[in-house]
Structure 1
Amino acid sequence: MSNTTPWLDAADASDVPDDDVIGVEVAGRDIALYKVDGSVFATDNLCTHGHARLCDGFLEGHEIECPLHQGKFDVRDGSPTCAPVTEALRCYPVRIEAGRVFLQLEG
């Protein structure tokens, strides 16, 4: 099914700083883009616990810390890694092509 799911242009790859997070809007969705160890990851930008924007949080290694209640998620798979969060983030496939970050939002 992923062969028919479109890849959507999300950002210039150079706009995603090393070991940091930015927020972008893609097809009307608020998305967080992270770059860790040279790889880019994408999740929903809204914390599943406190409804705060994760791009305002702190990235340490593969964990993003919510700025509201300090819950943490693994940006590679969205899993919660620290209370009070218990619900995983939705993650999206990422592809870098011609210096651009592309995401699949459906599928």
Structure 2
Amino acid sequence: MPFVRVINLNDVVEGRPVLAVVGETDVALFRIGNDVFAIDDLCSHAQASLSEGEQHGHVIECPRHGGRFDIRTGKAKHFPAFSPVRTFPVKIEGDSVFVDVGDD
């Protein structure tokens, strides 16, 4: 799947994760400064929605059991999560955010 426009840049506010649906994939979007990051919305441990968690800088905390993931790399950073979540390429053109989820 090529890059797909998912949201206006102004709708992605720093410190407030946003859920976007790209094809059949739920994607959590995060803004840090002028950058937007995209990861799989489902926690690899508890299948909870990461876009409903608390963002602490470059880390998102799962709302169910407190597992933490680096939003830049998808790497699990805190027990009970140990498996990474997928990350997706993001590009910004003007006021639009595009995400590529691959072969969804």
Distance 2:78 2:16 in 1: 19
- What SS does structure 1 have at the residue aligned with 2:17? strand
TM-score normalised by the chain length of structure 1: 0.91
Structure 2 alignment gaps of length 5 or more? none
Match of 1:81 among 67, 77, 96: 77
| Residue equivalent to 1:59 | 55
Aligned length: 103
Amino acid at match of 1:41: F
Distance 1:41 1:86 in 2: 20
Distance 1:37 1:74 in 2: 16
Question: Could you list the per-position Cα deviations for residues 27-71 of structure 1 after superposition, in whole angstroms to 9, with x for gaps in the alignment?
Answer: 121110000132100000000000100111000000000000000
- What SS does structure 1 have at the residue aligned with 2:83? coil
Where in structure 1 do 4 or more consecutive aligned residues deviate above 3 Å? none
Structure 1 alignment gaps of length 5 or more? none
Q: CA deviation at 1:98?
A: 2.1
Instruction: Tell me, yes or no, if the aligned pair for 1:18 and 1:38 is still in contact at 8 Å.
Output: no
After TM superposition, the structure 1 stretch with the greater mean CA deviation from structure 2, 16-25 or 39-48, is 16-25
Distance 1:31 1:92 in 2: 8
Please, what is the CA RMSD of the aligned residues? 1.2
Alignment of 1:99 onto 2:77: no
